[in-house]
């Protein structure tokens, strides 16, 4: 739990899980959450592959979108629990835990989004694609041309 400083966070399990929690919390209200959710997913998959996080089981999704029922993988990382989209093998290998337990809450943390994104992007090597929106900003403004009433628009 720290404020934004010049010294970078070390990639410990506790710091990484706090960073994932911070990114996930901000992604829920972001106007374009795609990068934040992908950063969370890539970080959790790397932690799972390194044995620092563990898949617990499947939960019914709280927000199944267009489907009537959808499941998410519950992942334990340090003191935190997260959900990620399942892979095909998860349905065969993991137990289904049923409905989400609403009484459990992840511990609070005071990590800035900037620090969290920096820690996770350096840990995973996953960078934000900023060129996606830059094409729209380079277009020059052209004044509208007004024709007199009755003139052709050609």
Report, as an integer, the average pLDDT of 97-112: 83
Report, as an integer, the average pLDDT of 123-150: 71
Q: Under 8 Å CB-to-CB from 28, ≥6 apart: which residues?
A: none
**67 compared with 75, residue with greater pLDDT:** 75
Report, as an integer, the average pLDDT of 77-94: 89
pTM: 0.73
Tokens of 109: 């943390």
What percent of the chain has pLDDT above 70?
84
The answer to whether residue 147 scores a pLDDT higher than 80 is no
């Amino acid at each position: 739990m720290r404020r934004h400083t010049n010294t970078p966070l070390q990639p410990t399990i506790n710091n990484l899980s706090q960073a994932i929690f911070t990114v996930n919390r901000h992604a829920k209200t972001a106007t374009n959450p795609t990068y934040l959710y992908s950063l969370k997913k890539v970080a959790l998959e790397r932690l799972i592959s390194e044995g620092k996080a563990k898949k617990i089981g499947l939960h019914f999704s709280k927000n199944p979108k267009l489907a009537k029922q959808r499941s998410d993988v519950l992942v334990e990382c340090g003191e935190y629990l997260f959900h990620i989209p399942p892979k095909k093998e998860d349905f065969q290998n993991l137990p289904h835990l049923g409905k989400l337990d609403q009484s459990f809450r992840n511990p609070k943390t005071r990590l800035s989004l900037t620090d969290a994104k920096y820690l996770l992007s350096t840990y995973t090597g996953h960078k934000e694609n900023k060129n996606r929106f830059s094409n729209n900003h380079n277009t020059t403004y052209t004044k509208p041309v007004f024709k007199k009433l009755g003139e052709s628009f050609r």
